[in-house]
Amino acid sequence: MYVTGLALAPIDAAAPWTACRSALGQAGQQDPARTQYVVVGHGGTTSDVEGADDELATFCGELALTSLRERGADPVLLNHACASVLFGLEYGQALIRANRADRVVVTGMIGPTGYDRAGMRVLRALSTGRARPFAPDRDGTALGSGQYAVVCDGERTVEDHVTAAFARIESISCRVAAEPRAGLRPEAVYDRMVDALDRAGVRAPDRIEAHATGTVAGDAAEEEAISRLLADRGIPADTVVVSASKATTGHLLHGAGAVSLIEACRHALASNGTVLVNAFGFSGNYACAVVGPPTHGVRHDHALVPELIPHSAPVGGHA
């Protein structure tokens, strides 16, 4: 499955179609009847939340669903917490392999409100400033906002239509462990990474796009799993780059995987290497994907990869 369209845009409750339109413009036209839209996140808007910020939508599933339905689509709503984008892509990949779709579009919006931040504070997951993934003095994450879209086409579609692509998704490995807690288990993170790499036939990735939210416990669990992965495979730690985009964008929650995938595509195009993408969510949602350069069709120009939207103040616990 190939990534043929990518978009990241500021949140705009009045224009929830912006990211989809941009990503579809990159990917080119396909039969709408053979396109499956997957909206990730919760339904509802801030009007459902007492005291919420009226100008933003929280987990804007309903806005995205309405926008797509107005355009004649029949979208699916999917929620696997902060691993939702990769779960959505796995769902779309299954449809393509079963010949039930030629294209999948995973999209959504997130605009956290005071209600969302209060919930994260209860979990002691928010920083008092910016997220500092893997930093020794990290003290939590910071919530970001935006709308996003990832368009993927099956291999036959790319080959037959000579469609330009950003990257090839070599494998996706998802699992729900049904854990009654907010933290990550290092062994569960390790298992998903190993499974994704083995499915792709890759011993060592050139880069790991970590989930790394900046929380003390979460980053420690992921770091432990990555260290074990490299040690078990005899991979020198200084040969694999580990990056974390949430220091720039903040945490887009359900949309976090889209930001990580954008960065993975950027590096796959630039280096011709493979990137392991991690996305993990509350209650045992674990997902990893292996992304490599396109092997068929035409490559998108590197300049078309969306730039990340810097996280702006107010941030963290003071937002």
Q: Structural domain boundaries of the chain?
A: 2-295
Assessment of whether the complete model's pTM goes beyond 0.85: yes
- Which CATH fold would you assign to the domain 2-295? Peroxisomal Thiolase; Chain A, domain 1 (3.40.47)
Query: pLDDT per residue over 208-255, tens digit each?
Result: 999 998 888 899 999 999 999 999 999 999 999 999 998 888 888 889
- Kindly state the tokens that stand for 211: 């989930």
Residue 77 — φ and ψ, nearest 5°?
A: -100, 125
Residue 81, CA distances (Å) to 218, 256, 290, 311 in order = 15, 10, 20, 20
Contact 173, 44 (CB under 8 A): no
Query: pLDDT per residue over 289-313, tens digit each?
Result: 999 999 887 889 888 999 888 765 4
Contact 221, 183 (CB under 8 A): yes
Rounded Cα distance between 86 and 290, Å, is 11
Residue 50 — φ and ψ, nearest 5°?
A: -60, 130
Helix axes 256-271, 84-97, angle to 10 degrees: 70
Rounded Cα distance between 122 and 119, Å, is 5
- Kindly state the tokens that stand for 163: 């469609």
pLDDT of 119 over the 80 cut: no
Query: pLDDT per residue over 156-212, tens digit each?
Result: 888 888 789 999 999 999 999 877 677 799 999 999 999 999 999 999 999 999 999
